[in-house]
Amino acid sequence: MVSIYDIAKRAQCSTMTVSRVINNTGRISEKTRQRVKAIMAEMNYVPNQAARSLVLQQTKIISLLITDITNPFYTTLARGAEDAAKRLGYQVMFSNSDENLDKEKEYIDTVLSMRVDGVLIAPAGDHSVEHLEKLRQYNIPFVLVDREVPGVESDRVLGDSKEGSKALVEHLIALGHRRIAFINGSLDISTARMRRAGYLETLKLNDIEVQPDYMFDTTYSRFDADPIIEKMIAMPKSKRPTAIFAANNFITLAAIRSLRAKGLRVPEDFSIVCFDDLDPDYIVDPFLTIAAQPAYDFGRIGMQMLIDRIHGPIDEYRSVILPSKLLVRQSSTPLT
Amino acid sequence: MVSIYDIAKRAQCSTMTVSRVINNTGRISEKTRQRVKAIMAEMNYVPNQAARSLVLQQTKIISLLITDITNPFYTTLARGAEDAAKRLGYQVMFSNSDENLDKEKEYIDTVLSMRVDGVLIAPAGDHSVEHLEKLRQYNIPFVLVDREVPGVESDRVLGDSKEGSKALVEHLIALGHRRIAFINGSLDISTARMRRAGYLETLKLNDIEVQPDYMFDTTYSRFDADPIIEKMIAMPKSKRPTAIFAANNFITLAAIRSLRAKGLRVPEDFSIVCFDDLDPDYIVDPFLTIAAQPAYDFGRIGMQMLIDRIHGPIDEYRSVILPSKLLVRQSSTPLT
DNA sequence: GGATTTAGAGTTATCGGTAACTCAAAAGTA
DNA sequence: TACTTTTGAGTTACCGATAACTCTAAATCC
């Protein structure tokens, strides 16, 4: 492929002159500039970013490390991130950790060797602290999105998981529900802890006793809810929950699927509310009562904060909390 | 950051020796190997991919150039592509063209300057031919996914748009529909042409006259269907279509939304069938009758073909056609 | 034991750019 | 006119790795 040397030779000038034309730096006569430009165009010259990266010590690449691009929340987040990155002159590399620490670790190593300029990361869990410390050790700026990690200070863009949960549970209580089950993700993840806190606090505020056997911990990823649902329906009818608070979209789907397989209906037999679903607008009839988060802004703002930090060192860490919105729909009905 | 020189100095050997240890090439005594390895670990050495890229002339980066990651078809395709890439040791950079040739052109230039090893692309349209020729000119392997481009020979992973369309239209005819509207994407895109061909052929096979005013061309992206729907319902009731074949998911949603806004119901007033929806499994009650495509495989197979070609030059171009599956659901009902 | 092979390295050049410095000629100034 | 400043370049070194070649000492062979 044609390099700056080829251009220089043909233009009978030094490579520096060519470099100056490319970057519009230094002093160059208009005549020379035009001549070099013409030759670059004629020879179809394209600068080599790898060479540039090597000397400039910057790649113009951002790594987006999420758990699963097919989770609609992260899909939209990714789009927000990519739009912002493009606007600011960066490329986005994406990776799916599947909430798996080993996979995350592999990606972190790749990220380091790629010398990306920054990392936008939704960490797999609290144990990601190691990975984040590694990034810090190598001086690679990062911004946490959606999840925080205890012991790690950094820029963050988070949702208001606690408030959102409270709104959902309050909604159920207002509908007359008292026996409310809670199927949560791993407590290793900050949002799961906040959602739990919101659940517990709301029950307490409403003088409802917390039933430990109404609380289930599982995972935010796709999984099989049968064992949990079976435990629930094995309870005597007078003690069985009448409503379920599911901590994210995949949990909700798994729960509904399992209920239906057992001949139970939503909302007739169980009301269901959930967090995290982003209500993609290609669903014809939105059915779920949800706390919807502004996923696009998670990505957009996170990417902006990140690039901001890459450009000029910033002293303090910044946190942005994005509110969620309660959308009441058909999956939750008054207790009859 | 620590480089191969720092390691060499500390290990009292040459950089080549270190390089040999890193890559497990050449002859090295076990003793030296261990010593160097220990020092690399101690100094937290991470190889610099940019430097490597420069000399090896390969970046281990693939560019995934699609129209919109938030289109669930491409979301899943992207996941399939990333999984395959990771397995084979490549990173994926993604970009959204929004079916916009200018944006696509910008990305192509970036891709060239990044010296990515290959491009997996769902081209914006037939005019993308220029961009593909540019890739070819610079010897960057690419694989077309989902869409082909006239005049461009290459590896391809395509859907069976024509057969899928025939199945959808046959289904409507079997339900008794005769006046079937067709809202299509831009004819600049190969799938739109194939879907059109399937529609026309099926009508002809069933001795149904083609009504030009039942056919509408718009865009595959998010858009407003009001003008089209208004034209349709302005027709006298005896001539008005009773069913709609929408060429993709966004068109379908826009059409249903517009119909509802005008007080019309699906399927009571209009049956609707569509292509391209991938039936994301987090939709609680799938409503649309669709021709579902195996999006994950589009990405997985496309990426494999691409990396295959990167590794060893292959003489002939390969085409893979992935079948779609008719899923009959509530959006289409018998004509009463 | 001397010639040949092989193991285990080191040297040098190069990939494609850019920063920092240098330098001659042209332009401006007293 | 003689001196200073500015303009328009060129030179050199370097970013961090690897390929290709070289070289020495030990091992093998006849």
Domain check: are B167 and B253 in the same one? yes
Q: What is the mean pLDDT of residues A222-230?
A: 94
Statement: residue B282 has pLDDT above 90:
no
Percent of chain B with pLDDT over 70: 98
Same-domain check for residues A287 and A299: no
Residue A36 lies in a domain: yes
A282 and A301 housed in the same domain: no
B300 plus B153 within the same structural domain? yes
Q: pLDDT tens, A235-245?
A: 999 999 999 99
Rounded distance, CA A196 to CA A247, Å?
9
Could you read off the pLDDT of B310-326 as tens digits, one per residue? 998 899 999 999 999 99
Query: pLDDT tens across B207-251, in order?
Result: 999 999 999 999 999 899 999 999 999 999 999 999 999 999 999
State the CATH number of the domain containing residue A203.
3.40.50.2300
Q: At what angle do helices A295-311 and A72-87 cross, to 10 degrees?
A: 40
Q: Which one of B70, B110, B139 has the shortest CB-CB distance to A91? A: B110
CATH number of the domain where residue A10 is located: 1.10.260.40
Would residue A336 count as lying in a domain? no
Question: Which of chain B's residues 9-68 bind strand C, using a 7 Å CB cutoff?
Answer: 12-17, 26-29, 31-33, 51, 54-55, 57
Q: Is residue A35 part of a domain?
A: yes
The answer as to whether B335 is a domain residue is no
Which domain covers residue A18, as residue numbers?
4-45
State whether A24 and A72 are in the same domain. Answer: no
Query: Do A114 and A228 fall into the same domain?
Result: no
Residue B336, domain member (yes or no): no
Position B277 scores a pLDDT of 64
**Do the chains contact at B70 and A93, CB–CB below 8 Å?**
no
pLDDT at residue B283 tops 90: no
Nearest CA in chain B to A77: B70
Residue spans of beta strands (DSSP E) within A276-323: 289-292, 319-322
Whether residue A334 is predicted with pLDDT greater than 90 in this model: the reply is: yes
Could you read off the pLDDT of A285-327 as tens digits, one per residue?
888 999 999 999 999 999 999 999 999 889 999 999 999 999 9
**B46, B134, B297: best to mutate for the A interface, most A CBs within 10 A:** B46
| pLDDT score of B302 more than 90 | yes
A226 token code pair: 């049968």
% of residues, chain A, pLDDT over 70? 98
pLDDT given at position B280:
65
Query: Are the CB atoms for B208 and B173 separated by under 8 Å?
Result: yes
Size of interface A-B (CB pairs under 8 A): 134
> For position B278, what pLDDT does the model report?
61
Separation between the CA of A32 and the C1’ of D8 (whole angstroms): 9
Beta strand ranges found along A100-191 (DSSP E): 118-121, 142-145, 155-159, 180-184
- Do B77 and B186 sit in the same domain of this protein? no
User: Nearest nucleotide to B18 by CA–C1' distance?
Assistant: D17
Q: Are residues B17 and B114 in the same domain?
A: no
User: Is residue A125, in this structure, part of any structural domain at all?
Assistant: yes
Do the Cβ atoms of A168 and A289 come closer than 8 Å? yes
Give which of A2, A57, A114 to mutate to test B binding, by max B Cβ within 10 Å.
A114
Q: According to the model, what pLDDT value does residue A312 have?
A: 85
Of A51, A76, A115, Cβ closest to residue B54: A51
- The structure tokens listed for A275 are 């967090």
Selecting from B82, B280, B331 the residue whose C-beta is nearest the C-beta of A94 gives B82
**Chain centre to alpha carbon of residue A290:** 18
Instruction: Decide if A331 is inside a domain.
Output: no
Å: A15 CA to C19 C1': 13
How far: A30 CA to D5 C1' (Å)? 21
Same domain, B202 and B277: yes
The model's pLDDT over B40-61, given as tens digits with 9 standing for 90+, comes to: 999 999 999 999 999 999 999 9
The reply to whether B39 and B60 lie within a common domain is no
Same domain, B165 and B289: yes
- The domain total for chain A is 3
What number is the average pLDDT over the span A76-103? Answer: 98
Note whether residue A51 is domain-resident: no
B3 CB contact with strand C at below 7 Å:
no
Backbone angles phi, psi at A195, to 5 degrees: -65, -40
Helix (H, G, I), strand (E, B) or coil at A280: coil
Closest CA to D6 C1' — which residue? Answer: A27
Q: What is the pLDDT of residues A247-294, one digit of tens each?
A: 999 999 999 999 999 999 999 999 999 987 666 666 778 889 999 999
Q: What is the pLDDT of residues A136-188, one digit of tens each?
A: 999 999 999 999 999 999 999 999 999 999 999 999 999 999 999 999 999 99
Inter-chain contact A115–B285, Cβ cutoff 8 Å?
A: no
Residues with CB under 7 A from strand D: A 12-17, 26-29, 31-33, 51, 54-55, 57; B 1, 3-5, 15-16, 18-19, 22-23, 25, 47-48, 51-52, 54-56
CB contact under 8 A, A115 and B49: yes
Q: Are B202 and B304 contained in the same domain?
A: no
Residues contacting residue B191 through CB under 8 Å, at least 6 positions apart? B146, B147, B159, B161, B185, B247, B276
Nearest to A93 among B44, B92, B280 (CB): B92
